[in-house]
Amino acid sequence: MFFLAARSTLRDGVEDLNVVSSDLKAAQDRSARISLPYHGVVIMIEQFRFGKDGQSVARTSMAKATPKQTLVEQNDSPRVGAAVKLSTTDLNNLMQALDIDVIAMTEILMPRGHRVEFGTIDVPGIHYNLSGMGRVSINGGPTIPLRPHLLIIVPPNTPLMIEVDGGSSPPKLISRDCWTRQEGILRVAVPNEQPEIVQICGFFNASFGQSVKLFGELREPVIEQFEPTDRIDLKLRETMNELLQQEVGAGAMTASLLRQIVVSLVRRSLKSSRRWTERFSILADRQVTRAFADMVARPGADHSVQSLAHSAGLSRSAFMARFSDIFGQSPMAVLRHLRMRQAAIDLTTTTMSIDAVAQNAGYESRSSFVRAFRKAYNRDPSDYRRMAKEGKVRKDV
């Protein structure tokens, strides 16, 4: 199987003096237990059933989740997060702060009568069909018609198969001898055969700060039919060209291009009667997301659990429970990651003094800031700035 060396940053963030947060292992276990879809499959393919037991399993999963939600809210008003509209301003703040880390790109050139299989990769992937007709199966589920300008976001650790009919015989698997690599781009093609399907795939991380991943808890694919006028294909082509040319700023350019595609997806969802954005855990509870958007937009503000709960329109206990359930960390732990992100940006893009960077990140004490930054990036702020200028450190903000 083909595995990509994906980068992941997993921080404990549990040293909050005000709140005792659950340990990270428990959060991972909890995420694993809710690995089934909450709402079925989006728009075009909602009649299909993903997983071994399909929709019956999804309904069972939702039924099991109800007692947990009731327990969380037993001392508060009924949960109404889904009824609270997430404002355009909040979504705009989140999209502006979204960091994209491009792991690899793949180009698939598949002739008739062939198929290709991808194993599990621990980052999400964007698959965009430039041309041709075929079928795709995700996680061993039923095949879905593949047509030009169909875009699929495949969740992390989810296998994928693409095939094109070519006659009476079953499609032939493209061997690894036909997989070639050049400057970060993997090309899958059969020599001397005309491709029926041309597809570009991008594997990436999309996150807020160092720990909150937009697609980290996505359990089912996002599928959208775009048009040529949406220019998604041009953005992906340009991304591949940047990787091939490897000019100065290639990393920033590829990240920016993929970020534009994610924003296009969010815009498309907002125009739909069924918003797939609500299937992301960090966007599904709109009351908690509203508070998180405020943290993202103003990481250096004087936030507290109480002020964030007020922003969400919840009691302190309900906000803490719902926030920790979604993010696997306490609000203050997530806020620290966002503040370190802001500090890293200031250190690499401005000439602000260390004291000013600390204040902009919400720290009144320089020593406290330096300790927190050293823990997040394994070096002092001044060293981080110097090494970034010399190109010796990846600006992982």
User: How far, in Å, are 85, 102, 255 from residue 184 at the CA level?
Assistant: 41, 10, 14
Please indicate whether residue 354 or residue 216 has the higher confidence score (pLDDT): 354
Question: Hey, what are 4's tokens?
Answer: 């990509």
Pairing state of beta strands 197-208 and 185-189? unpaired
Rounded mean pLDDT, 297-321:
95
- For the chain, give percent helix, strand, coil, nearest 5: 45, 20, 40
The CA dihedral of 273, 274, 275, 280, to the nearest 10 degrees, is: 170
pLDDT interval class at 55 (50, 70, 90): very low
Alpha-carbon distance of 48 to 58, in angstroms, equals: 13
Identify the bridge partners of residue 202 per DSSP, sorted by sequence position: 105, 126
Alpha-carbon distance of 343 to 32, in angstroms, equals: 33
Alpha-carbon distance of 334 to 13, in angstroms, equals: 7
Which alpha helices (DSSP H) does the chain contain, by range? 24-33, 54-72, 88-96, 232-245, 250-270, 281-284, 286-297, 305-312, 316-327, 331-349, 354-360, 366-377, 381-389
Please indicate whether residue 75 or residue 327 has the higher confidence score (pLDDT): 327
pLDDT higher than 50, residue 26: no
Q: CB–CB of 111/201 below 8 Å?
A: no
Q: CB–CB of 385/354 below 8 Å?
A: no
What separation, in Å, do the N-terminal and C-terminal C-alpha atoms of the chain show? 31
Per-residue confidence (pLDDT) for residue 375, from 0 to 100:
93
Alpha-carbon distance of 397 to 344, in angstroms, equals: 6
Per-residue confidence (pLDDT) for residue 281, from 0 to 100:
67
Alpha-carbon distance of 181 to 188, in angstroms, equals: 9
Alpha-carbon distance of 350 to 361, in angstroms, equals: 14
Alpha-carbon distance of 271 to 341, in angstroms, equals: 31
pLDDT higher than 90, residue 68: no
Amino acid (one-letter) located at 50: F
Q: CB–CB of 86/289 below 8 Å?
A: yes
Contacts of 116 (CB under 8 A, 6+ apart): 108, 110, 161, 162, 163, 173, 174, 188
What percent of the chain clears pLDDT 70, i.e. is strictly above it? 73
Nearest C-alpha neighbor of 112 from the set 158, 61, 164? 164
**H or E segment and range at residue 125:** strand 125-131
Buried b / exposed e along 327-355 (16+ C-beta atoms within 10 A)? bbbbbbbbbbbbbbbbbbbbbeeeeeebe
Contacts of 235 (CB under 8 A, 6+ apart): 257, 258, 260, 261
Computed over every residue of the chain, the mean pLDDT equals 76
pLDDT interval class at 275 (50, 70, 90): low
The pTM (predicted TM-score) of the whole model is 0.66
Per-residue confidence (pLDDT) for residue 210, from 0 to 100:
67
Task: Choose from 14-18, 98-102, 139-143 the range with maximum mean pLDDT.
Answer: 139-143
pLDDT higher than 70, residue 258: yes
